[in-house]
């Protein structure tokens, strides 16, 4: 360390190639040890099976021929004839198959926090408009049959015998359905399970295989759905938004979806971050954006967002930051949200469909008054050394920030040349990397 240098050292490169990292917000300590990160990241399927053509559209419960196997949807996005997108709300059961949804917002069948959690702990009741929707849906024969069959499925999956289920009255079963209408754990499901024209089962459709326009709609719609959960449940202090891609990353289906979970806390990570933010309102520039730029970790940039290789994370991580002055994603302009989508889409495309990963959204909890930027992390779920970590609380990561940057930058140039990601971004040395690119605290300063 040089004298008179007061910049914290979040990333330290040692002579032997080891990279020691400290997360600027959580204090998490991570080491990257040389020689461990050169293997391919993805799950290689040596001999992928041919797809069963007769199962097309019905590979899993999120597929388009199986809409009645999930609880009644809250809304869906469809394509109009001219290619633009339109959101349809509160479709009755009779109309579920009239259109094919590009994206659907459905209640999670197995909520992390159930309707009962909010009802019994807070006195939460269904808002009038939701109670009305529930009544309308159940008033139709197809709607009632749909709800009863999903409840049967849920009870069976929870270990009830068929006799126990049959012993319940229709009223008792319907009473259990409030969570379908007023629940605060939603899933946003994309249309495709496999790529259009796929012949083998390793050709799954991921975030990165959407077109930039489809991905932009996915993100815009997810922002809308996040906002809708706060509107639905005033006891929610935070809506966690995340995407688990492939089973090693925690996904139960290899069918692209995001989850939105309302919780009654801000989460430990936010509390730690908020403490640091109170001490230094510019910490997201100093600790993240500027630091990444001084260390040449910037991967790409556009007018309203910045992507860099993250440091101090348990898993190799790509970080995408919004430069908007609006902390709440739903207050951002369509161009600002699109810019976030374009870089996030590029991050997924460069990562590749065969790499298990988590996408985590971080943004200002609803009851916080401090400004903070909307940011999204893509974490590659490649293996780590669990025993060492348990003993030392130091995490060993297989690919350092520069390794992440090099892998991604290299792919981005090729993807942009092939027209598979937005052309509207500046990659690596093309980026301007001006200090303080994040404008979230512009008003405060
Ligand atoms: Zn599916």
Mean pLDDT of 362-367: 96
Would you tell me how many other CB atoms lie within 10 Å of the CB of residue 439? 17
Q: Could you tell me which residue, 382 or 373, shows the higher pLDDT?
A: 373
Q: Cβ atoms within 10 A of the Cβ of 169, count?
A: 8
pLDDT of residue 176: 78
Q: Each residue of 55-95: pLDDT tens digit?
A: 999 999 999 999 999 999 999 999 999 999 999 999 999 99
12-37 burial: b if 16+ Cβ within 10 Å, else e: ebeeeeebbbbbbbeebebbbeeebb
Tokens of 41: 């990241």
Report CA(24)–ligand 1 centroid distance (Å). 39
At 86 the pLDDT is 98
Residue 226 burial (CB < 10 Å; 0-12/13-18/19+)? buried
As given in the structure block, the two tokens for residue 5 are 């240098």
Both structure tokens of 48: 């992928």
- Cα 127 to ligand 1 centroid, rounded to whole Å: 32
Edge to edge, the sheet with strand 19-22 lists 11-13, 19-22, 29-32, 394-397
- Show the 3-state SS of 422-433: CCCCEEHHHCCC
Whole-number Å distance, alpha carbon 61 to ligand 1 midpoint, is 6
What would you measure as the largest C-alpha separation in the chain, in angstroms? 77
Q: Are strands 75-79 and 11-13 parallel, antiparallel or unpaired?
A: unpaired
| pLDDT score for 178 | 76
Residue 219 CA to ligand 1 center (angstroms) comes to: 20
CB 376 within 8 A of CB 359: yes
Residue 193 Cα to ligand 1 midpoint, Å, equals 4
Distances (CA, A) of 232 to 79, 240, 438: 26, 15, 31
Distance, CA 58 to ligand 1 centroid (Å)? 6
- Between the CA of 405 and the centroid of ligand 1 the distance, in Å, is 32
Q: Give the pLDDT score at 389.
A: 85
What is the Å distance from ligand 1's center to 77 Cα? 17
Q: Please tell me the predicted confidence (pLDDT) of residue 38.
A: 66
The answer to whether residue 443 scores a pLDDT higher than 70 is no
In the block, residue with structure tokens 């240098």 = 5
Say how many Å lie between the CA of residue 337 and the centre of ligand 1: 27
Ligand 1 centroid, distance to 146 Cα (angstroms): 19
Task: Report pLDDT digits (tens) over 279-291.
Answer: 999 999 999 999 9
Taking the centre of ligand 1 as the mean of its atom positions, its distance from the CA of residue 444, in whole angstroms, is: 46
Looking at 98-107, 203-212, 215-224, 262-271, which range is the least confident one? 262-271
Pair of tokens at residue 326: 């609006």
- In this predicted structure, the answer to whether residue 2 has a pLDDT above a threshold of 50 is no
What is the band of 1 on the pLDDT scale with cuts at 50, 70, 90? very low
Q: pLDDT tens digits for 237-250? A: 999 999 999 999 99
Q: Which residues have beta carbons under 5 A from ligand 1 (an ion)?
A: 59-60, 62-63, 193, 255
What is the 217 CA–ligand 1 centroid distance (Å)?
19
99 alpha carbon to ligand 1 midpoint, in Å?
17
Give the least confident one: 43-52, 309-318, 339-348: 43-52
Question: How crowded is the C-beta side of 68, counted as CA atoms within 13 Å?
Answer: 15
Q: Which residue has the higher pLDDT, 41 or 443?
A: 41
- Mean pLDDT (the chain, rounded): 93
Tell how far the Cα of 63 is from the centroid of ligand 1, in angstroms. Answer: 4
Prediction pTM value: 0.95
CA of residue 105 to ligand 1 center, whole Å: 15
Q: Which residues face 86 on adjacent strands?
A: 78
Ligand 1 center to 64 CA (angstroms): 8
Q: Are 190 and 218 in contact (CB under 8 A)?
A: yes
Structure token digits, residue 369:
């008054």
φ, ψ of residue 67 to 5 degrees: the values are -55, -30
Q: Report the separation in Å between the CA atom of 394 and the middle of ligand 1, taken as the mean of its atom positions.
A: 38
147 CA to middle of ligand 1, Å?
20
Cα(127)–Cα(370) distance, integer angstroms: 29
CA–centroid distance, residue 257 to ligand 1 (Å) = 10
Q: Measure 55 CA to ligand 1 centroid, in angstroms.
A: 10
**Locus of tokens 């309203």:** 304
Ligand 1 centroid to Cα of residue 192, in Å, is: 7
How does DSSP classify residue 284?
A: I
Q: Which helix (H) or strand (E) holds 121?
A: helix 115-122
- Percent of the chain past pLDDT 70, that is, above it, reads 96
- What is the CA(59)–ligand 1 centre distance, in A? 5
With 0-12 CB in 10 A as exposed, 13-18 as middle and 19+ as buried, what is 374?
Answer: buried
């Amino acid at each position: 360390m040089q004298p008179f240098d007061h910049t914290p050292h979040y990333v330290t490169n040692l002579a032997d190639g080891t990279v020691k990292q400290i997360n600027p917000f959580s204090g998490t300590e991570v080491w990257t040890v040389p020689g461990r990160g050169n293997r391919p990241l993805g799950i290689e399927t040596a001999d992928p099976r041919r797809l069963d053509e007769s199962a097309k559209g019905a590979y899993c419960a999120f597929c388009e021929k199986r809409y009645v196997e999930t609880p009644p949807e809250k809304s869906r996005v469809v394509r109009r004839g001219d290619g633009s997108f339109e959101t349809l709300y509160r479709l009755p059961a009779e109309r579920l198959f009239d259109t094919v949804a590009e994206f659907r917002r459905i209640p999670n069948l197995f909520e992390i926090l159930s309707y009962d959690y909010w009802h019994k702990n807070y006195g939460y009741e269904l808002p009038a408009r939701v109670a009305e929707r529930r009544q309308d849906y159940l008033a139709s024969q197809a709607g009632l049959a749909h709800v009863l069959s999903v409840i049967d499925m849920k009870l069976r999956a929870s270990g009830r015998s068929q006799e126990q289920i049959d012993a319940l009255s229709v009223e008792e079963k319907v009473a259990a359905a409030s969570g379908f209408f007023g629940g605060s754990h939603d899933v946003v499901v994309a249309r495709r399970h496999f790529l259009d024209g796929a012949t083998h089962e390793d050709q799954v459709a991921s975030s990165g295989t959407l077109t930039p326009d489809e991905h932009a709609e996915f993100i815009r719609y997810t922002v809308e759905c996040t906002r809708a959960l706060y509107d639905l449940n005033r006891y929610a202090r935070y809506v966690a938004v995340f995407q688990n891609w492939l089973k090693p990353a925690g996904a139960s289906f290899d069918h692209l979806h995001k989850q939105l979970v309302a919780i009654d806390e801000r989460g430990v990570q936010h509390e730690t971050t908020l403490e640091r933010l109170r001490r230094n309102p510019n910490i997201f520039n100093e600790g993240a954006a500027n630091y990444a730029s001084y260390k040449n970790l910037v991967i790409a940039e556009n007018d309203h967002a910045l992507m860099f290789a993250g440091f101090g994370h348990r898993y190799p991580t790509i970080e995408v930051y919004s430069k908007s002055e609006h902390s709440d994603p739903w207050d951002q302009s369509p161009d600002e949200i699109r810019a976030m989508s374009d870089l996030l889409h590029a991050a997924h495309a460069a990562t590749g469909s065969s790499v298990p990963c988590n996408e985590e959204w971080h943004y200002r909890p609803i009851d916080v008054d401090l400004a903070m930027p909307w940011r999204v992390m893509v974490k590659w779920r490649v293996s780590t050394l669990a025993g060492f970590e348990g003993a030392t609380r130091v995490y060993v990561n297989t690919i350092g920030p520069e390794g992440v940057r090099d892998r991604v930058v290299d792919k981005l140039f090729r993807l942009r040349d092939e027209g598979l990601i937005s052309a509207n971004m500046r990659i690596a040395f093309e980026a301007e990397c001006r200090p303080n690119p994040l404008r979230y605290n512009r008003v405060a300063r």
